Amino acid sequence: MDCSYHNKILRVNLTRGTIAVEEPGAVQLRRYMGGWNIIADVLLREVPAGADPLGPHNKLIFAPGVVTGLAISGASRNAIGGKSPITGGFGASEVGGSWGAQFKRAGFDALIVEGVATNPVYLWIKDGEVEIRDAAHLWGKTTKETQTLIRQELGDDRAELAMIGPGGENLVQYACVMSGLKDAAGRSGLGAVMGSKRLKAVVTRGTQGLKAADPETIQAMARRAAKEVNDGTRAAWAHTAGTGGTSLEGGILSGNMPIRNFRDGEFPEIGGLEYVMDKIGVKMEGCWGCAVRCKKVVQAESPYPVDPDYGGPEYETIGSLGSTCGVSDIVAVSRASELCNGYSIDTIGTGVTIAFAMECFENGLLTLEDTEGIDLRFGNSDAMIEMVGKIARREGLGDILADGMLPAAARIGQGAERYAVHAKGQAQPMHEPRLKRGLAIGYAMSPTGADHCHSLHDTALVYPNEEGFVQSADLRGMGALEAMDLDDLGPDKVRAVIYDTMGKVLQNC
């Protein structure tokens, strides 16, 4: 089948130890394409109502995008989905890196994992061949240890891993699936689903080419993108510093960047989190086939060691483990980010949950006895870093926080739920919906709860161009034409939310 499809969906049943390849046909693949569409189709048809998200009837789906594997900047995306242990409903998350491209080039369009293995296993997928391999020796290992051992075992340093660390194994509700050491499918708790199936990793290596309808145009686009990035006329900010890599003061002044569990409006210490690459940067890296190379790689020795193999913190991580916890040391944030990647726990879920606990502690709902002597106050870098490990290992208070904010609030009691900042149980990302009203609508409507990746950021709607249209070309293309005020909550804003959500769902294909 041409146009980047193989017409092959891989199905692995871990309970029975069986492997099957299905050929759904061109009509089915055109109807559901890739990404979220395939995930939604499988979940709706195959997962029974009331199924335990961490039980044998849930399914874990890996579904790269239609053009993943082609040399198109920004298109190396892989969606991972299942019933979410956080929300109890539809769960999906997206990730870049190289895993999705290698999987597509290995000859498959999607992977459906069902059942539960008796003992830990990993999947090895290479150029159409699939094996279920023992992973007992990998259980308990960090993602870096896992990647190193598996590549040695396979004798292939170019094998790509989608994997979990101890956080996923210990069923931390907001555990993520790591694509390599630096890219996380962070939202919806799918690392816990993977851990519940005793699936340590899905390892893939592909050497098959992908066909495109118009390869000459794709090659021309790739050359143009590379030239424009190198010339500094395209994505210069992302290429040199990545998200959140330069000034963050505007986010504080506008009220968009959360401070101390979304409680405060001022953070004079913000300078400690800014200009990351100038302070501890090593280099910039990128995803498969992308000219922009927006991924920070950082390193430090003091006051905390930071391993460059784990990349560096993006904006969401700088906010969640930084300002939301009242922490202003970028080295501390980078160390906590490294630990989250090594343990495979979502930096947003982890940071906001720790901030929730910090506010409970400062208000007397948690004591030093509850925290085992940890002074869990806002701004305490050591405490924040220590809690990351305790959550991943489910130790002490970390065991309570690992179940998510709402269950943790119920166990803490005393009205702790007033400090839990979430939508449908999922920790709120680093964009303030009291500023972005359309974003608030998106959080309320989204099946995955608080997710900034498929909800409207209505600051993009404020300014008109010379013709009176909204400046954002993406929103114009979806039908949101006129600029509107930030605090507008009328029918036009609601329509803009719907248009924007539709566009982002299509981008996730």
If one counts every other C-beta atom within 10 angstroms of the C-beta of residue 51, the result is 16
Least confident of 55-59, 253-257, 421-425, 492-496: 492-496
Structure confidence at residue 478 (pLDDT): 79
Residue where the block lists tokens 């979220």: 36
Structure confidence at residue 487 (pLDDT): 87
Structure confidence at residue 213 (pLDDT): 86
Q: Which of 211, 166, 173 is nearest to 192 (CA)?
A: 173
Structure confidence at residue 1 (pLDDT): 52
Q: What percent of the chain has pLDDT over 70?
A: 98
Quick check: 35 and 77 in contact, CB under 8 A? yes
Q: Is the pLDDT of residue 505 over 70?
A: no
Distance CA 219, CA 165 (A): 37
Structure confidence at residue 104 (pLDDT): 96
Q: How many CA atoms lie within 13 A of 165 on its CB side?
A: 27
506 pLDDT band, cuts 50/70/90, is low
Please state, rounded to an integer, the average pLDDT across all residues of the chain.
94
**162: Cβ–Cβ under 8 A, 6 or more apart, which residues?**
62, 78, 80, 99, 177, 178, 179, 185, 201, 202, 204
Round the CA-based radius of gyration of the chain to a whole number and report it: 22
Distance CA 83, CA 477 (A): 32
With left for phi above 0 and alpha for psi between -120 and 50, is residue 120 left, alpha or beta? beta
Structure confidence at residue 475 (pLDDT): 81
Distance CA 313, CA 398 (A): 22
Pairing of β 295-298 and β 281-285: antiparallel
Q: What is the pLDDT of residues 180-206, one digit of tens each?
A: 999 999 999 999 999 999 999 999 999
Taking residues 378-394, report their average pLDDT: 98
Structure confidence at residue 468 (pLDDT): 82
Q: What is the pLDDT of residues 339-356, one digit of tens each?
A: 999 999 999 999 999 999
Structure confidence at residue 9 (pLDDT): 97
Whether the link from the prior residue into 303 is cis, omega within 30° of 0, is: yes
Taking residues 2-13, report their average pLDDT: 90
Q: What residue type is assigned to position 416 of the chain?
A: A
Distance CA 459, CA 483 (A): 10
Least confident of 4-8, 10-14, 154-158, 396-400: 4-8
According to the per-residue pLDDT averaged within each range, which of 155-159, 437-441, 477-481 is highest? 155-159
Distance CA 134, CA 132 (A): 7
Residue where the block lists tokens 């013709």: 467
Distance CA 493, CA 486 (A): 9
- What DSSP state is assigned to residue 428? P
Quick check: 294 and 243 in contact, CB under 8 A? yes
Tokens of 499: 């248009």
**388: Cβ–Cβ under 8 A, 6 or more apart, which residues?**
321, 336, 339, 340, 343, 345, 350, 354
DSSP E strand boundaries for 65-215: 78-83, 90-95, 110-114, 121-126, 129-134, 160-163, 177-179, 183-185, 199-205
If one counts every other C-beta atom within 10 angstroms of the C-beta of residue 417, the result is 15
CB under 8 A, 24+ apart: contacts of 257-260: 257/319, 257/323, 257/430, 257/432, 258/319, 258/320, 258/323, 258/324, 258/421, 258/428, 258/430, 258/432, 259/323, 259/324, 259/326, 260/323, 260/324, 260/325, 260/326, 260/355, 260/358, 260/359, 260/378
Q: What is the pLDDT of residues 228-280, one digit of tens each?
A: 999 999 899 999 999 999 999 999 999 999 999 999 999 999 999 999 999 99
Structure confidence at residue 4 (pLDDT): 81
DSSP state letters, 155-167: T-TT-EEEE--HH
Distance CA 307, CA 310 (A): 6
Q: What angle do CA 101, 285, 226 make, to 5 degrees?
A: 80
Q: What is the signed CA dihedral for 457, 459, 464, 469, rounded to 10 degrees?
A: 10
| Helix%, strand%, coil% for the chain, nearest 5 | 40, 15, 45
Structure confidence at residue 507 (pLDDT): 60
